[in-house]
Structure 1
């Protein structure tokens, strides 16, 4: 009630009687929370805008321990998190939490809190069996889904306890099969559209992107032609097999003191989406942690290791499968010859293009054949995306932190002045093993790449007016390699005229330092090199390059003038050369946000109605985003336009940099929880999120990627008859613009329902639950380029033995 900032909470007991598959997925019903779904087993949490499939602005902790995959700077959903049987509650801080938690928390934070084995003992076993792909919503017939969870906790005295958790998940993923053309106007000057467009590029077709196209002069006309590529549905493995386990040892030397030593491991087989779609195979995460806390202080240290295993990039697989069959030069030469022959034999232009493609593709590797599978096995093990598809990264995150409650250490002094004082520090080091493709060490290839960050904060709170007013101030300092020291202040006020009513206001700043991938990436992919934005990685590229947006516009105008005005190519290049623009961007700086928030919490109607409302206003600058640019293969100004017209005479880059835009957004939310009687409880919330304006707009800022309205409602019925319970939840979000390097466009509005009925056999300790998500099976997509999500129906059995 008296928290100075917005905090949403989902307790295990409440989540378990919702229709969601897991407590983690039940977060979709929580106020302020947006969840996007790149995969059935990969859910991404976000709050307050600027969402994407690798949300590095939102931190996710388990018992205060970051569970991110180090090289990504973001978690692989709940892969290294707790299973349902061990979760006590999940707290969400929507909005900036950087003052206390440091980098990667400028959009929010989730902390999954598990059950302590001293308080929660016994054995719990849960088996959830379900079915999805019902009703011919995609290429699959109905498929089985299974999730098994085990929790064991035992005390051996009042000082020693152990805990063990095991979880397995298996099933068939949702299918991504959007066939919208991403290059519909590439041949507009020749009136070739739709299936007649030789540059046709499906959203979920790979190997026919811009890097796989060439402009061909055929019988006096310029045509943009793409290689054929492959659909994801033909080349992807949609099988999900995820396993995780953790074991912990707990020791209480005296009252209030606890030492915990824990180990977690996860094996992940699923689909992951970023600029491209990836297949994660045998991807492993391991974490070792030590924590010692008392009422006065806490110290904590942990290390997380990551190994991407046999994972691969589906786009690189598709384009290099084509190139393994026939090189680009040979394929386009065959296309040219076949087109001219078709025209000579009387074919129309559209038919000639189709004949040319069929002829050039003769002998191509076809999905499902032995030759294709043999070549795929070879390519997914080549760690170079210019000729293969392997994702091979090994990394480690090492973290240490400490807290001290000065008011507990010197309680009598601080009680006299009604003040609390908290201080903390943290140290983090990312250690990346150079693989020669994804990451290199630009200073020494024989050594690991490291990226360190140190931070500290002090927070003071003061109660006034008989403890009705609480004021707080926090100052945080962070120093990261390659950047100057940054200071983050926070000021808060909470006024509680009575125990069941409080008003809050806060102002704070936040910084986000670049992630490992944003700072240090070094990826060759389809002739485009993706380079980290730190000067150590991209020195000289920004100053000597030209933007892809201007080059694309220049090339399109040249083609149009050749096709419609009858100009020669040289004449068209000379006419349009001033269209080309130098790259105005430069090396990376941290992102920065200013955030102001007010809110209200209260109880009404004889304490049966809980009300929680908030409003915020944010301003951002130095958004970390990507720009594509090229360096011509000449320094002669007169030859630069000709060099940039052809893909073969330029070096192309995708660079991490900062947007020049200043961006403002605001929003608010209202949450209600009403206890109608002993049987029925109604929950409802509405979240409004709005991009206000963009100053100095340069079009490079990250996509807001957030619906304006998100509405949730849940009705819970308990003890309808004996121990029979039920619930139904409905969610709605309006359509919104989605921007990413994979695809941009509009995500349609959707609404969906989850429901369940449960019965508790109290004597045996068994609870049964029959339910479903998206029970009406109305397929929807939460993002573009992602899967179409249908209904999943399940039966779960949970057996709890309290004492062993």
Structure 2
């Protein structure tokens, strides 16, 4: 399918090129861009307004481009980071154009396109939006680009490993950012199989990032499903504008190496290409949380360091534990007690696969059909190795995507299409790996007892022997644990390595740990901007996407063929400017249709009033309604993880029994009627969100920029995971089925009630909609003060509050967001060639909930810094930087690793 799609894109490109009509009267224009002091500005962009004709200045600040003077005047739009943009009007060709730019340290003249899907000044944006330019991106010192966004107001980034990160705004973070969409040049970068936005593994290398825009809050009215709490947009550099060769190399602690290269060339006035590549590797962060997990639904866990053993968060292979029977043959003090094997640490299971890696190769070709119509086709090849956390801990090994994309774009319209296929490659589930090693036979020929059987047998035998010697219960338990531990396979044994390799490479459900999804996402979208009057604009657009899910039955219920799912939507936005363009009113709406859900309507209304002599004070108010479509995993997953079976919920729903009733009594308590445990999970519907927001963005004098907002959000049909006892087919278990489970004979290792792989009745986990409304509110404030060119001070504070007043005590919201968070920092250019940035970040500890683990995080903080020294004669900038320089506590995901210090040195060579 990818090959067909790419061939079609090339054919369309060729057809357009054959009929193109480029300007016939193109004439050279050249000049220089400099500061008020006469210092050249290399890298300034120069565009002919209303066209795609543009260039950038060289080391001497000089530029040259071709313009058509048939229609006068020709207007040059000139911009450079940290300076006010200028427009220069020409009535005839000129080869000595001089453009002087004035400093604008507050960066309030930035232009964005994400908030309204048309270009507008960032001060006049109707919603809260953050923008980073190329200079700010260059100064980010973290190994993954997106982690550096943590230093901006209202943005939360959680790291489950070195390169696996999730981003959110306004709460409800998770390991896969399902409430925020991530785009590169407006193309979705998610993995179709897992709906994962894996940090920047599928995004752009930093050398090719022109800018980053982050929308806070609901954006479904213009972006559709899952633009629920925001949008992250990475914009790449145009090969027509930013030509030349750039090479960046960094190396540092943890065997860190990051090499990137970008080469762009304008072959003719119509044709340009670029190729971007990057390779990153480092020792990955490994978690070491050995607290007792609280997610035991079939029986309670033992306390940490119990001589009976316990199920630890970051140990894998306790194989569910063995519960001693309530029989006369069992010692009285062990009856009903559960023993756990020690299991294996993540480092032991990952072994020599502990290197985080990222490989990206992004070639593209651009062609100007005319001065204001451009065609671009490209391929993005991405592969990465990192650890991921959701229902379990997973090791994504060479996991990646192939993305084929094409775009035809005019100054007022565009048509885009892409096809993405992901590959699980050699990825594996750590819980499965640990458990299947324990339940493997000691003998390589597959006969005889398993390691788990040997462990539990040794435990019971030694306990009885120790008690017979007259030892106390506690001493006998300790002795039993010590003797039994010698029966567990050691990670250093050759048999362990043999089993590890065998199980990792086996994708058979119930036997192997390999994850081998390979799904496709095909999508297309188009938009047209129609000016109705001088101050009235209408944009209309539409989008279609189709998923084709495949996992060979080991992740999805796709036993015989791919599962197909689709979404279709259309939107419109009307904008009206009044009172000398000081008041901007906008209304937008979008209707989306789904295969599994009823159509949804998402409206947004906003008003922005600009006050002050130069419209420097901007007050905004907006209302937006958004929706979230359940992820493909929520809809179609079918995965047995031992203690629970994960099932999708788009059929007729499920009926069963809660594991604990309203009175707090466990299921199966003698004398308690079954009716008190009855539970029902209707089929999934769309999650809905309504948000009210007010804010201010502006400048106080020439040196201070202030951005402040407050919001209230109301979530209905909130999607969350629920665990209960039920039948796999969705029916409520009968009395006969329940009796059969409780009467199941004890074996070693135990097949406890509702846990046998062969049983129809299991502990199930499905995703369903909560009946309660979930309410949140929050605020954010950002302040920037340009003391002088060498020093700009920055500070921001974010508040996120979850209202639990109407929620049941055990209701899981997966809010996963600190209530209080702040950043303070400084940056600037000490001299023309020396730049720096430093930032301190602090976040309050909070509850973190995932299907894998639930627990409290402590307060966490980090100091990040960067210094760059440019040597123009060598075309080189020497760089030094580091993240979490003080090596503070910085665990952002419960069950994830502590993200420690990483310091690097490097250089950037830039040849225009």
Task: From 240, 244, 269, give the equivalent of 2:356.
Answer: 240
Structure-to-structure mapping, 1:648-687, within 5 angstroms: 650-687=761-798
Q: Does 1:436 align with 2:553?
A: yes
Deviates more, 1:747-756 or 1:447-456: 747-756
After superposition, residues 620-659 of structure 1 pair within 5 angstroms as 620-631=715-726, 634-636=734-736, 639=739, 642=742, 646-647=753-754, 650-659=761-770
The answer to whether the aligner puts 1:67 opposite 2:178 as a matched pair is no
Q: Distance in 2 between matches of 1:643 and 1:604?
A: 75
Counterparts of 1:268 and 1:685, CA distance in 2: 33
Partner of residue 349 from structure 1, selected from 466, 473, 486: 473
Matches within 5 A, 1:437-456: 437-441=554-558, 445-456=559-570
Quote how far apart the aligned CAs of 1:52 are.
0.9
Alignment of 1:356-755 (within 5 A): 356-407=480-531, 414-416=532-534, 418-441=535-558, 445-498=559-612, 499-526=615-642, 528-535=644-651, 539=652, 542-543=654-655, 545-550=656-661, 554=665, 573-576=669-672, 581-605=677-701, 607-631=702-726, 634-636=734-736, 639=739, 642=742, 646-647=753-754, 650-697=761-808, 699-720=810-831, 723-755=833-865
Task: Give the length in aligned residue pairs.
Answer: 757
What is the CA deviation profile of residues 512-543 of structure 1, one whole-angstrom value per residue up to 9, with x for unaligned ones? 111111100011221532101111xxx56x22
Farther off after superposition, 455-464 or 735-744: 735-744
Aligned 8 A contact 1:554 1:579 in 2: no
C-alpha distance 491-376 of structure 1, shift in aligned 2 (>3 A): same
Query: Could you say what secondary structure the match of 1:56 adopts?
Result: coil
1:716, 1:86 → 2: CA distance? 22
Note the alpha carbon deviations across 1:545-596, whole angstroms, 9 max, x for none: 212344996559x8xxxxxxxxxxxxxx423455961223221111110111
Deviation digits for residues 736-790 of structure 1 (CA, Å, limit 9, x no counterpart)? 1112222222111122211222210012210011121111122421121010121
Q: Distance in 2 between matches of 1:21 and 1:389?
A: 29
Corresponding position of 1:214 = 323
Is the Cα–Cα contact under 8 Å of residues 711 and 733 in structure 1 kept in the other structure? yes
Instruction: Provide the rounded CA distance (Å) in 2 between the counterparts of 1:464 and 1:613.
Output: 24
1:324-380 deviation per Cα after TM superposition (whole angstroms, max 9, x unaligned): 142766654554444333322323223333443444455432112211111011111
2:180 corresponds to? 58
In 1: Cα distance, 2:592 partner to 2:299 partner:
52
Q: How far, CA to CA, are the matches of 2:277 and 2:897 in structure 1? A: 28
Instruction: Report what 2:156 is aligned to.
Output: 34
Deviations 1:184-243 (A, max 9, x none): 9999999x744235241221111237x445354442232122233211122223211221
SS of the aligned residue for 1:763 comes to helix
Is contact 1:547-1:628 (8 Å) kept? yes
- The separation in 2 between residues aligned to 1:302 and 1:581, in whole angstroms, is 48
**Which residue number in structure 2 is paired with residue 6 of structure 1?**
128
User: 2: CA distance between counterparts of 1:188 and 1:272?
Assistant: 27
Distance 1:684 1:503, change over 3 A: same
Residue 201 of structure 1: aligned partner:
311
Deviations 1:7-28 (A, max 9, x none): 1111121232354446433212
SS in 1 for 2:439: helix
For residue 247 of structure 1, report the CA deviation from its aligned partner: 0.4
Q: TM-score, normalised by structure 1?
A: 0.90
Q: State the superposition RMSD in angstroms.
A: 2.6
Partners of 2:324 and 2:124 lie apart in 1 by 64
CA pair 552-491 structure 1, distance change in 2 beyond 3 A: same
Residues 212 and 741 (structure 1), Cα distance of their counterparts in 2 relative to 1, 3 Å cut: farther
Greater Rg by CA: 2
* 1:127 equivalenced with 2:249 (yes/no): yes
Q: In the alignment, is residue 182 of structure 1 matched against residue 300 of structure 2? A: no
* Structure 2: gaps spanning 5 or more residues: 1-122, 442-449, 728-732, 745-751
Deviations 1:422-463 (A, max 9, x none): 01100000111241221123xxx4321111000010110111
Distance 1:779 1:701 in 2: 26
> C-alpha separation between the residues in 2 aligned to 1:508 and 1:181?
42
Counterpart of 2:101 in structure 1 is: none
Equivalent of 2:380, from 264, 286, 289? Answer: 264
SS at 1:195's partner residue?
Answer: coil
Could you tell which deviates more after superposition, 346-355 or 492-501? 346-355
Distance change >3 Å, CA 79–CA 318, structure 1 → 2: same
Residues 661 and 516 (structure 1), Cα distance of their counterparts in 2 relative to 1, 3 Å cut: same
Contact 1:474 1:489 in 2 (8 A): yes
2:657–2:726 contact (8 Å) kept in structure 1: yes
More helix by share: 1
Distance 1:184 1:159, change over 3 A: closer
Closer/same/farther in 2, CA of residues 446 and 636 from structure 1, 3 Å limit = closer
> Do the aligned residues in 2 keep the contact of 1:580 with 1:641 (CA within 8 Å)?
no
The 1:798–1:197 alpha-carbon spacing in structure 2 relative to 1, beyond 3 Å, is same
SS at match of 2:207: helix
Contact kept, 8 Å, 1:183 with 1:199, in 2: the verdict is no
Asked if 2 retains the 8 angstrom alpha-carbon contact of 1:773 and 1:791, the reply is: yes
What's the counterpart of residue 225 of structure 1? 339
Q: What residue number does 1:411 align with?
A: none
Distance 1:505 1:546 in 2: 46
Q: CA 1:127/1:339 → structure 2, altered by over 3 Å: closer, same or farther?
A: same
Per the normalisation by structure 2, the TM-score is: 0.79
Per-residue deviation, residues 463-483 of structure 1 (Å, max 9, x unmatched): 122211111111110111111
The answer as to whether partners of 1:251 and 1:259 remain within 8 angstroms in 2 is yes
DSSP 3-state at the match of 1:374: helix
In 2, Cα distance between the equivalents of 1:758 and 1:575? Answer: 72
Bigger relative contact order, structure 1 or 2 (CA pairs below 8 A, ≥6 apart):
1
Range that drifts further, 178-187 or 722-731: 178-187
CA–CA distance in structure 1, aligned partners of residues 378 and 474 of structure 2: 64
Bigger mean CA offset, 113-122 vs 317-326: 317-326
Q: Distance in 2 between matches of 1:22 and 1:361?
A: 40
